[in-house]
Amino acid sequence: MFQVILNAFRAAGEETRLRLLVLLAQGEITVTELTQILGQSQPRVSRHLKVLAEAGLVKRYREGAWMFYRLSKTASVLEVLDPLLAALQEDQEELLVADRIALDAVRRARADQAAAYFAENAAQWDRLRQLHLPESNIEQAMLSLVGEEPIEHFVDLGTGTGRMLTVFKNQYDKATGFDVSRDMLAIARTNIDEAGLTSAQIRYADLYEVPLDSASVDLVCIHQVLHFLPDPAKGFARAATLLKPGGRLIAVDFDAHDHELLRDSFAHRRLGFADAEIQSWCEETGMSLSKTETLAPENPDQDKLTVKIWLCQKPSTPAQTQLSKEN
């Protein structure tokens, strides 16, 4: 432990590297974005990140042409660093204030890019979504995985045109769909009115900050949303906090792929997700990954991707939550 702490402090004890740690404590960021924020060259930033990675403080992963970095969650040394990094997020040191402003600008640019895409495509979304997915098979598989268990409150994060509110309409007592695209929400409202879904409502809210009590929801759905998010792990964690003990999260997204084009033409940030990544998010949020289903396209061609359904569950008692976090 002595050597681990010593190496970690040596790595963190340099101006740029400490700034990088403070930034990464706020979520995953690509190396290009870090370069923009710090105003330093990419080779220089990459060198500093390499030192942090070697000390076990940050994790990197390449996905297509993009290299992502995030704070390592497993390093025990972070328990020591976490409170320091949290304090530095409030610190008024000029460099850190400038970094916060630059990070905000980068995040706004990301959000604006996705928002522009959805504003432009809201009217044709129900047609567009079918281009990539064998839609009815997926919906059927989701219903089978969720089964007959009663659902008092169903929440759909990134509800778009509200399709999931219709798919699960026979399962819930009440449902709420949240989205940040007013264009999508306008269509969702029409759709739920036309379907006569009086127990469902639509709300404008960012999924990271949905205005609901923690532990108040039986089933959270996050269908084809994670790959658009600047910080999908944080979105997943927010979904987990909404769940009652024993509550479930059904996440549907693409399996990890290498269609870089989807970033440029369809505003995707992540190129799908591997089971291992979802498993690690479950561990970080004290959930278990109870079922996984893979839906490969019936006639594989360049446009169709493999879809994954992950059903995750919060333990029924707080004691179980603690146990599952420790394991």
Ligand X SMILES: C[S@@+](CC[C@H](N)C(=O)[O-])C[C@H]1O[C@@H](n2cnc3c(N)ncnc32)[C@H](O)[C@@H]1O
Q: Where along the sequence are the contacts to ligand X (CB under 6 A)?
A: 114, 118, 129, 158-161, 163-164, 178-181, 184, 206-208, 223-225, 228-229
Spatial distance between the Cα atoms of 270 and 192, rounded to a whole number of angstroms: 30
Strand partners, 201: 176
Q: Which is nearer to ligand X, 16 or 159 (CB)?
A: 159
For residue 217, which of 197, 237, 245 has the smallest C-alpha distance?
245
Q: Which is nearer to ligand X, 160 or 315 (CB)?
A: 160
Read off the amino acid at residue 62.
R
Residues in the chain: 327
Least CB distance from residue 316 to ligand X, whole Å?
28
Spatial distance between the Cα atoms of 293 and 308, rounded to a whole number of angstroms: 6
Q: How many CB atoms lie within 10 A of CB 108?
A: 11
- Please report how the helices 125-132 and 94-121 are oriented relative to each other, as an axis angle in degrees rounded to 10: 100
Q: Which is nearer to ligand X, 178 or 236 (CB)?
A: 178
Q: Which is nearer to ligand X, 71 or 164 (CB)?
A: 164
Least CB distance from residue 325 to ligand X, whole Å?
26
Spatial distance between the Cα atoms of 124 and 286, rounded to a whole number of angstroms: 38
Least CB distance from residue 204 to ligand X, whole Å?
9
Least CB distance from residue 323 to ligand X, whole Å?
31
Residue 325 token pair: 């976090």
70 membership: H or E segment, kind and range: strand 66-71
Q: Which is nearer to ligand X, 232 or 247 (CB)?
A: 232
- Please report how the helices 94-121 and 31-38 are oriented relative to each other, as an axis angle in degrees rounded to 10: 130
Least CB distance from residue 189 to ligand X, whole Å?
13
Name the residue whose CB lies closest to ligand X: 160
Spatial distance between the Cα atoms of 301 and 289, rounded to a whole number of angstroms: 30
Least CB distance from residue 184 to ligand X, whole Å?
4
Q: Which is nearer to ligand X, 11 or 157 (CB)?
A: 157
